[in-house]
Structure 1
Amino acid sequence: MKHSLSLLLFFLFILSGCSGQNKEKKVSEHSSAGKLQAGLVFDVGGRGDKSFNDSAYNGLEIAKAKYGINFLYIEPQGEGADREAALRQMAVDPDIGLIIGVGMLFSEDITAIASEFPDKKFVCIDYIHQQKTSIPANLEGIVFEEKKGSFLAGALAGLVIKTNTVGFIGGMESSVIKKFEQGFIAGARSVNPGIRVLSGYIGMTGSAFADPAKGRELALGQYGRGVDIIYQAAGASGLGVIEAARESKALVICTDRDQEAEAPGFVLSSMTKAVDRALLKTVESVLNGSFKGGGVSVFGLADRYTDYVYNEKNAPLIGIKNHQQLEDIRKKIVSGEIVVDETAVVQ
């Protein structure tokens, strides 16, 4: 069930003792049992995006099954104007000890609220550190090596391509998504210097991650201009890009999670960010007392927290030789032989 902020308040403070509750509501009912309770606030697009948000939810589901933790979640509405209020509601709940904001758009709000509630632990996925402020000691930023992963996605596209034209579609035009685009272009040109890249963005605000219709429209336009592979980094909007790939009988490279099931035979690969594994590791650090805030943790290629999908389903599309070459590129990036600067973003 998806909970708006008002519904969460209703469930927590009015119906916590009622019968017939679902498992999210029961979490509050059993909060006195002494178990760790986490509060998750989704990014725009919410649960069911089959991408970034779902991966975060899955991480807490795994932690619940493995360690018996409890958790609640809230979905910001529309443009996410209630993002700060949702984080604050989690923070004032005496039973919640770990509060998680999913997405770069939480960075400023979660930094401020973590400073107000030093007795709580906070985590922000895709955290953007503003250099003018320090990171509170109770806040851990989690980032992935999107630019390096996107370099691999670009190299894959450059190896597989037939038309010599590839496309990129991003969600919100921002520094984080620019890393996807620029890494992808660099990777494609590393194996095919003459490759042509068409780029497009869905919008300039957070709602750009929740507009599949616009994603489909942009993708159909690119496929119509001769693109045979599109790399999409657009959250729930990427579902529209995947649909366009199916309609156009073309290929798409997805992001965050393996999305092959959305269009079997048309998803060349996915550049994955193991948000679920990263959150599980964070929960473990809270449980064993090793949680360290005040900084940013990088989950990258070396341990395959940032990776690409290669399995029995997409192996025929990629090919053994291309996979071997891609693995060689991955190892060179990890070793530093190929330099992909995660901090350099050209606006």
Structure 2
Amino acid sequence: MTARIPLPDGWADRAFRIGDAVRAGASTSRLDGGDLERPFWGVRAPAAFTDSSEGSRPKLPVRRSDVEALCRALQVRMRPDAFFTHVTAALLLGLPVPGRLARLRPLHVGCAAPGRAMLARDIVGHSMRIDPDDLVDRGFLRLTGPARTWLDLAGSLTLGELVAIGDALVQWRSPLVTLGELGSALDRYPSRSGIKQARTALPLLRTRSESPRESVLRVIIVLAGLPEPECNLEVFDDDGIFLARGDLVYPEYKLFLEYQGDQHRTDRAQWRSDIRRTGRLEDNGWQVLQFTDDDLRDPTALVARIRLRLSARGRA
């Protein structure tokens, strides 16, 4: 078997433009070799540099590393002043983008207005008014920063989804932005699409929320006019011994509200731990209400369950 002609030095581990490779001495037949992928028109990349098989494999959570690789491949075609934005920026920042939007393609690429938006297959181009301070660098990639990305997503997310991403941004353990910085972004761009939604979402954000579904559940409760439960509260028995930490807790009524993802069902150790934990709480006078994705799709019934349980435990 004939050995492949090596690529120019330094090109075997990065994406490159076809024109640049030809000028460097690579033949067009070499650029059609099976060891090279075609992530975008006019671009080649080493095989496995990008994940180009998204459409042929089962839908799995999008990995940040795959998004970064695809962005690096596109970057060789982008204008120097262009940047990644909207859903692509959110994925690069590691934010909990809802599954219906979390896809490798298309990539969202922005440029400062009045510049012309990038137009190409698998690209959503945006010409947008933006302050240079709203851009950040992640390695070799330039993208909209956390506050501006949150604001840009406001027009395409539900209120609960927007709060979930906002909660992730301000989460107290590793905040990417402050509530004040989000408020400043709203003030700087008062005519952005989704601004009304963002203004509604901002006062609903909480720094102690730890999962997107938990955030959505909390928003449903608050919008229904029920008292707001406390996020991730630790509770103890009368002797000060730790009992449990709850997603959403009404300490006055000794009521836990828990979102149960599939891992609570499929992980045997988790399932057993949950049963022991619920038993400890019930032995000390607490009650636990559990919810799944099906409940979140029927907010009316969900709220009715919580209201009934609160009433039974003394809420007028």
Give your verdict on TM over 0.5: no
Pair member with larger Rg: 2
Higher RCO (CA-CA < 8 Å; seq separation 6+): 1
The alignment's TM-score, normalised by the length of structure 2, stands at 0.32
- TM-score of the aligned structures, taking structure 1 as reference length: 0.30
